[in-house]
Copies of this chain bind each other. A is one copy, B any other.
Amino acid sequence: MDCIHYAIMLEIIERRHLRDQLGEAIRDRIVRQRLPANQSIGENALASELGVSRTPVRETLLGLERDGFVKAVPGRGFVVLPLSAEEARQLYPIVWSLERLALSDVTEVSPDLIAKLRGLNRNLESATTPQERKQIDADWHRCLISVSGNQRLAAMLEGAKASIARYEHAYMDAAGPCDQSIEEHEHIASLLDESPALAADAIEAHWRRGLAVILVAIEGTPQA
């Protein structure tokens, strides 16, 4: 029994397609505006920069098109879509509707899960780097919607959240989730086992506040 068998037994070998690994890198370039909006993506340059061929790059871009990062224009490749207040106004309600759905119809919430949410929230409090804070915040929401057990819902939310990340990066404080977010998380966690309906209202309010921040940043006017 050699090391390969051990690897299989322990599920160490985890093969991933190149396109999945590239996703992170290319999304990052878009979020950080290294690939500017309204500009066609040079597939050759991107591929050689990433050390792969055009094929997996194009596969990744097709996925990013589904998530609303880019648009494929016949004959001129993939174009990075611009951010807009209008799109933000479209995206956020989708997210809060889907997270509401995750919390509806929940009959019983395990104490373990609430404990896990509280733990993540503590980690969020003590996190130092913005990157870490954003990561933990995303984990907290993933954990929250896991109560539904709805995998299709989780997958759709992943895509929508990725789009929203663009707006948060571009317009929100680079520090990441603030104290108010942490308080709201705690509030939601505490509501979870008493009244899922109230928790659903709270999660919607949480996102509404996030949208308001973004819209102020984009449009300047406090209430638009």
Contact = CB atoms under 8 A, between A and B. Distances in A.
A90 B59 contact: no
Interface string A164-187: 000000000000000000000000
Given A63-B62, A68-B152, A101 B91 contact: no
B98 A153 contact: no
Chain A contact residues, majority secondary structure: helix
Q: How large is the interface on A (under 10, 10 to 19, 20 to 34, 35 or more residues)?
A: 20 to 34
A94 B17 contact: no
A100 interface: yes
A74 B16 contact: yes
Contacts of A16: 74
Contact of A62 (B62, B94, B156): B62
A102 to B, nearest CB: 10
A66 interface: yes
